[in-house]
Chain A
Amino acid sequence: GENVEQHPSTLSVQEGDSAVIKCTYSDSASNYFPWYKQELGKGPQLIIDIRSNVGEKKDQRIAVTLNKTAKHFSLHITETQPEDSAVYFCAALYSSASKIIFGSGTRLSIRP
């Protein structure tokens, strides 16, 4: 079935360290994988996305990697800062059903 699993559900890292969030998906035909950041009391906001024709994409301190063979993709945040504290959601586009399925979210906390 259509499913996106996200781990861990909570993550606490020291300021300045790196954070990694992993997601797996079930549909081998998926070809679009966005990541959203949700700050307290706000709606999710797209921070980075990747399409199946590339294996990695970077935007300053944020990077996403994609392994289509293993059907998993990951978000990497380097040199974490207090403003990185938020809930992060991965998602995958299921083309056959024309819809995006979201993971269950990861609450990231940055310790000072």
Chain B
Amino acid sequence: NAGVTQTPKFRVLKTGQSMTLLCAQDMNHEYMYWYRQDPGMGLRLIHYSVGEGTTAKGEVPDGYNVSRLKKQNFLLGLESAAPSQTSVYFCASSYQGAWQETQYFGPGTRLLVL
């Protein structure tokens, strides 16, 4: 099993450009999450999904959109990138529909917005 994979690993964007980050998991997990990690601020939840076709907002959803068209994939979109979105983005997944479950994280995507 590959676990949780993320593409791309690194990306540089100019302000105003758009992009999509892809997360894929092969563990048949129901829940998937997108976090951003900034220095001194830990991990903050952007959006999450409790199942195929469903999404919900986390702590810091503004400027991002998500889609979960297939159970194994969770996409994070930036429609108009801003320098404040420079961060490391982590995707995670967990097995069942309960928050008291181990979250399995991907290796991260480092995004730089100029």
Contacts and interface: CB of A to CB of B under 8 A. Distances in A.
Interface of A: 4, 6, 9, 31-32, 34, 36, 41-46, 49, 51, 89, 93, 95, 98-100, 102-105
3 closest Cβ pairs, A-B complex: A43-B105, A102-B42, A102-B43
Interface string B24-59: 000000000000000011111100100000000011
A89 B103 CA distance: 13
A93 B108 contact: no
A42 B6 CA distance: 11
B106 A43 contact: yes
Interface of B: 4, 40-45, 48, 58-59, 90, 92, 99-100, 102-103, 105-108
Contacts of B59: 99
B90 A44 contact: yes
Given A42-B107, A43-B90, A43-B105, A93 B99 contact: yes
Contact of B43 (A41, A51, A89): A89
A2 B65 CA distance: 24
Contacts of B92: 43
A111 B50 CA distance: 42
27 contacts: A4-B42, A6-B42, A9-B40, A31-B100, A32-B100, A41-B107, A43-B4, A44-B43, A44-B90, A44-B103, A44-B105, A45-B105, A46-B103, A49-B102, A51-B100, A89-B43, A95-B99, A98-B99, A99-B45, A99-B58, A100-B103, A102-B42, A102-B43, A104-B40, A104-B42, A105-B40, A105-B42
Nearest to B3: A43
Contacts of A9: 40
A40 to B, nearest CB: 11
A100 B99 contact: yes
